Amino acid sequence: MATTAWVLALVFGSPAAPEPLPAGRVEAEAVLLTDTIHGRHGPYALAVTEGTVVLLDLEETVPLSVGEVVRVEGVASGRAGRARGIWHASAVRVTALERLAPPSAPHLVVGNSIRDRVMERLEPLDDRRGLLAGFLIGDTTGLDPADEEAMRLAGLSHFVAVSGSNVAMFLAILYLVAGPLAIGPRSRALVGLIGLPVYAAVTRFEPSVMRASVMAGLALAGKLAGIALDAWQLLSLAVVALLVVEPSLASSVGFQLSVAATAGVLVGGRWPTAGGPVARALLVTVGAQAAVAPLLVAHFGTVPVLSPLINLVAAPIVSAATITAAAGVAGVPWLVDVAAGLAGLVLDLARGASAWPQAGARQAAALLGAALVWARFRPARAPMAAGAAVLVVAMALGGGGRLPPAGAVVLDVGQGDAILLHGGDGRFALVDGGPDPVVLDRKLRDHGVSHLDLVVATHAHADHVAGLTRVVGGWMVGELWAAFPPHRTDESEALLAAASEAGVPVREPAVGEVYRLGALDLEVLGPRRRYKSPNDQSIVLLVRGPAGSMLLTGDVEAVAEAERAGVAAAGPKG
């Protein structure tokens, strides 16, 4: 039944692109569909005005909340698009915003109040407390994007996608609070049904929360009606109900992963085993991982091979951190510090496990096939386990994309530069890092890089140095070259601060200096002096190797180029 509903929703219910809003000036009242979201290109929010969804492109961060009524003035782009899986008729560059009224729906009022209290009690947000916010209410705005990526690569990102365990904890707290009222089972079920929409509002109606909340609601309604439903019936009914109400969920990655993981947990939880609690827990994590593996490969290209093992270790720590943080938020402040320490352990696990093997489509299919044979044929288990172990070791040793024995690879990091140099002897240098630390981190790992002997920040502009901050602050880096003065940007200052905190030596190389990187020579050709233009202030390198030479100019312009007589130079990017 659920499968049929899903297929019908995909075929007939996927929303089409809306008619674009006419380009030009806009002045309207709107109701917010999201909080302020910190996107890659700045803060924004989604809102609906006269039945039309628009994206509000904010000039600065304004703490908006779901359900608020605002008056906006701005300029519509006239182009439809999607954000967070939701179609909008146009982006509106907001020039003026007036907050007219707070949310009026009771579940939003209570939910926003709880959410505000949680975030207030977790202040000041650092990486650990930011992760606690993810555990409690699914808010990852305080989490470093590189740490979010590390959680994904380790197979731990589901812990910040609030789901069934969080809903169960919320209901348990609700029943505990209602305990003094001495209410019976049916009344507790009614209290739970009233409370579920509030928790959905607290966690901003994420697909995984909606799936878990509807399952819990059906179970509680069944208790009121005297009907017992098993877990598979609850999952099927929840999927059908949600797809009938909102067919676009069928194409939501979060919803797909949530449903698949729940099904995998149910299979793993009931799979026959002669082992104890640890074996059962491992089967549950393996079941969830096997169920979501095809989706992870389809949407992200890889699946973390050893995720069940890291989940086995991380799950009890996450549970302890979540429960302790909830108690701290409720009124025992020192427990928040304890929970933050536990969250720090989870971050350490994620950062370490993010370098573990990732399986592509073929490797994942081979491992899943081996798992099925192992489960079905007992005599084949020993050789299949050995074969799987060999495959995992081969992936661990094989790294990612291959570099030439000694040479350069231009990494695709979007609008910006990042050139990886390999000396042919396991030594690496990185010249610039593009604008996005998460993309850079992924590209380096794809090439099997785990350390950098030298990092060169050619000049202070964000499209060259913003991506380097996380690498310099969190990777093993031997040395950082930079020649920023007299120019500075927020990104260049953040990079230097990260290097200082991590103890990475920073220096300005001298013109004529040669750095030997295995079979490569990196000769410094500039900057020859201080320049008025940040682009002319670029560090210029001539890289020589067995296959020839390569000139890396940063964004050098005409003035500095003219001063390097006799050296071929490339102009700035368009």
pLDDT digits over 307-359, tens only?
888 888 888 999 999 999 999 998 888 999 999 999 999 998 888 787 777 77
The token pair that represents 4 in the structure block: 């049929």
Strand, helix or coil for residue 115: helix
Q: Which pLDDT does position 14 carry in this prediction? A: 56
Superfamily of 407-563 according to CATH: Ribonuclease Z/Hydroxyacylglutathione hydrolase-like (3.60.15.10)
Q: Which pLDDT does position 572 carry in this prediction? A: 44
Residue 556: which of 529, 530, 524, 526 has the closest Cα?
A: 526
- Provide CATH code, domain 11-104: 2.40.50.140
Residues of the chain with CATH 2.40.50.140: 11-104
Residue 5: which of 241, 235, 256, 259 has the closest Cα?
A: 241
Which residue is it, tokens 């994590």?
285
The token pair that represents 207 in the structure block: 């697909």
Residue 129: which of 315, 321, 313, 314 has the closest Cα?
A: 321
Q: Which pLDDT does position 1 carry in this prediction? A: 55
Residue 214: which of 241, 189, 192 has the closest Cα?
A: 241
Cα(537)–Cα(554) distance, integer angstroms = 9
- In 242-313, which ranges are E strands? 303-304
Strand, helix or coil for residue 137: helix
For residues 259 and 164, is the Cβ–Cβ distance under 8 A?
no
For residues 290 and 264, is the Cβ–Cβ distance under 8 A?
yes
Sequence-separated (6 or more) residues with CB below 8 Å from residue 522: 421, 429, 454, 514, 515, 516, 541, 542, 543
For residues 152 and 257, is the Cβ–Cβ distance under 8 A?
no
Do you find a cis peptide bond into 124, omega within 30 degrees of 0?
yes
Backbone torsions φ then ψ of 162, nearest 5 degrees: -50, 130
The two beta strands, 407-410 and 419-422, are antiparallel
Query: Cα dihedral angle (144, 149, 154, 155), rounded to 10 degrees?
Result: 110
Is 125 exposed, middle or buried (CB count within 10 Å of its CB: 0-12, 13-18, 19+)? middle
In order along its 574 residues, the chain shows pLDDT tens digits of 555 545 444 444 556 677 888 888 989 999 999 888 877 667 899 999 988 899 999 888 888 889 999 999 999 988 888 887 788 888 999 999 999 999 988 989 988 898 889 999 999 888 899 999 999 988 888 887 778 878 888 888 888 887 777 888 888 877 777 766 656 777 888 888 888 898 888 888 888 888 989 999 999 998 888 888 899 999 999 998 888 888 878 888 888 889 998 998 888 888 777 777 777 777 788 888 888 888 888 887 778 877 888 888 888 999 999 999 999 998 888 999 999 999 999 998 888 787 777 777 777 777 677 666 666 655 555 565 555 555 555 544 444 455 556 788 888 888 788 999 988 888 899 999 988 888 888 888 778 787 899 999 999 888 898 889 888 887 889 999 998 888 888 889 989 988 888 888 999 999 889 999 888 999 999 888 888 888 888 899 999 988 788 888 888 877 777 776 544 444 444 3
For residues 483 and 539, is the Cβ–Cβ distance under 8 A?
yes
DSSP class of 62: -
Q: Which pLDDT does position 318 carry in this prediction? A: 92
How does DSSP assign 162-184, residue by residue? --HHHHHHHHHHHHHHHGGGT--
Cα(337)–Cα(328) distance, integer angstroms = 8
Q: Which pLDDT does position 488 carry in this prediction? A: 86
Residues of the chain with CATH 3.60.15.10: 407-563
Dihedral class, residue 192 (left if φ above 0, else alpha if ψ from -120 to 50, else beta): alpha
